[in-house]
Structure 1
Amino acid sequence: MSSIVVVDWSPAWAVQFDEVAADLREALVDVPSAVVEHVGSTSVPGLAAKPILDIDVVVDAADVAAAVTALESVGHVHRGDLGVAGREAFYAPGEPRRNVYVCTAGTTNVRNHLAVRDVLRERDDLRDAYAAVKLALAADPTMDIDTYLAGKSAVLQQVLEVSGEFSDDELAAIHRLNDSSA
């Protein structure tokens, strides 16, 4: 069996996000620019996903350090940028399983997350195409995470092009990042 698990969308994910977001907002009360966003596949109703929430805490550049400190104060373990400029990753303790990132507002990375979410919420055809690719990749018993991520790149590029939010140079940079393991 593949080590990548993709399941049907669950309405529980929205409820779990609301609970986690309330806790994050409380921790970030002294970071005035902080906005907690549910991103990734679990944020799109009807989209099959790995059952792990993706959460972006979007802050002004001047507030990144304060946001990192605030999350560490409530048990999140800072993991650095993991090779993505403008994004600080965290190990989040407890349940539900989630990836939490502090993202600098306006960066290509956070704009990418928000554009993909918003287009997939609006376009059932693209949502369903993306789900089909993810399910097919996850069905391969030899699938690893890098190949899985690279395998989703083409459909994600199409979603980003539809968004109209990115220049050709930005689209090329995102494609290189998403497809770096192929």
Structure 2
Amino acid sequence: MTIDEAIHLEPYDKQWADRFYDEYQILIEEIGPYTAAIEHFGSTSVPGMTAKPIIDILVGVESTQHANEIIPKLTAMGYEDLGEAGIPGRLYLRKRGRHAYNVHIGSYRGDKWNHNIIIREYLRAHAVEAERYSEIKRRIVTQGTRTLLQYSNEKHAYVEQLLARAKAWMNGRTS
């Protein structure tokens, strides 16, 4: 069991929002009582963005006990439990099949939760930034990157800069 896997990019697909919603309905029924919130995030949640055709789902929990209740329910639904997968404080599960899903379980409104939501909202509000990020991702793949870990590593510095801009934008909106 390894987190690394082959990746490819696709142009934005309006069905990604529907796929999230369909999986969300199932997740609410199965794990809803143990969650504080369930959100679509990542590039498939931003209209117009190029993305890996994998729906990323953020599951916020109030306690570790809730995360421990969720894991067996998700594995029974066909999700593969990959533990923290290199990111402390986040539990990562994936399901591959007709459609692909990643579930990221973490502390509701903790830093990882907030960072992912801030980036999503920033990219949704800034189409030029979303296109710039899409171009960087396309360039990484065009230059030969074909695996998840290499892809993630190669865009890491850009994502850190993106987060800084998103935080500044969010702080400007709320002050």
Q: Normalised by the shorter chain, which TM-score bucket?
A: 0.7 to 0.9
The equivalent residue for 1:42 is 44
Given that residues 37 and 108 in structure 2 are in contact (C-alpha distance below 8 angstroms), is that contact kept between their aligned partners in structure 1?
no
Once the two structures are aligned, what percentage of the paired residues are identical?
27
The equivalent residue for 1:177 is none
Q: Output the amino acid matched with 1:20.
A: E
TM-score of the two chains, using structure 2 as the length reference = 0.82
C-alpha displacement of 1:69: 3.1
Of residues 111, 127, 130 in structure 1, which corresponds to 2:130?
Answer: 127
Cα shift readout 1:135-169 (whole Å, capped 9, x = no counterpart): 1111123554333222222332232112227xxxx
CA distance in 2 between counterparts of 1:42 and 1:8 reads 10
Q: Gaps spanning 5+ residues in structure 1: where?
A: 166-182
Distance 1:29 1:146, change over 3 A: closer
The equivalent residue for 2:95 is 92
SS at the partner of 1:29? helix
The equivalent residue for 1:179 is none
Q: Gaps spanning 5+ residues in structure 2: where?
A: 1-5, 169-175
Runs of 4+ in 1 over 4 A off after TM superposition: none
The equivalent residue for 1:12 is 15
C-alpha displacement of 1:98: 1.2
Q: Output the aligned Cα RMSD.
A: 2.0
TM-score of the two chains, using structure 1 as the length reference = 0.79
Aligned residue pairs, count = 162
Q: Output the amino acid matched with 2:77.
A: V
Of residues 56, 59, 74 in structure 2, which corresponds to 1:57?
Answer: 59
Given that residues 86 and 107 in structure 1 are in contact (C-alpha distance below 8 angstroms), is that contact kept between their aligned partners in structure 2?
no
C-alpha displacement of 1:39: 0.8
